[in-house]
Amino acid sequence: MAELRLNKTELKNQKTLLDQLSKYLPTLQLKKQQLQVEVNNMRASVELLKDQLNDLKSILREYAGLFSEFLPQNLSSLIEVAEVRTGKENIAGVEIPHFESILFREIAWSFFTTPVWIDRAVADLKSLVTLREKNKIAVQRLMLLEEELRQTNIKVNLFEKRMIPQCRANIKKIKIFLGDQEIAAICNAKIAKDKLKKKDAVKEEVGA
């Protein structure tokens, strides 16, 4: 850290820095608040998706016995993911992914050799896979937002607890030093004036 210079130029620089920090801090604090709201919402979304996943898993487990009895292959072989489409969005200055859609390949099966409930089972399985992809992306979103919140917290604390207090302390230190110098200069000037008066008085006495 550079040594603090105790002069008027440094005093001006410290005042300018304090003004900049004081103006930027509310922006950081607002961003922190926005991020906290988004993180809380995203945590709730992740929990909701987890609950929905668990509910669907319970439903699909009910099909398990039927699959082994009526189908030669397992349920997962009846669907195939072709593409998961995602996009990007900006939240509180953070670019994060968002789920758009999921495409499944069409897999044909015989309507005559498969039971009538297979359509519902496949639909439920597709919903499960969709929820898993949504949850995966939601977790990514949450991690990115939490990291940005952590970094913003660090900056806010740095401004509030270190940089602004240090800047104010520097200004106070410089003002005290300059004030002491001004007092010292006045005192020296007064002493010099008194000496000059005495010298003039002595000259007058000698001249008399």
B/e letters for 10-36, b = 16+ CB within 10 Å, e = fewer, are: bbebbeebbeebeeebeebeebbebbe
pLDDT digits (tens, 9 = 90+) for 123-178: 888 898 999 999 999 999 999 999 999 999 999 999 999 999 999 999 999 888 88
Q: Is 0.85 surpassed by the pTM of this model?
A: no
Confidence of residue 204 (pLDDT cuts 50, 70, 90): low
First to last CA, the chain: 64
Residue of higher predicted confidence among 97 and 187? 97
All domains of the chain in start order, with CATH: 25-161 (1.10.287.3240)
Residue of higher predicted confidence among 50 and 109? 50
Give the DSSP letter of residue 106.
-
Confidence of residue 186 (pLDDT cuts 50, 70, 90): confident
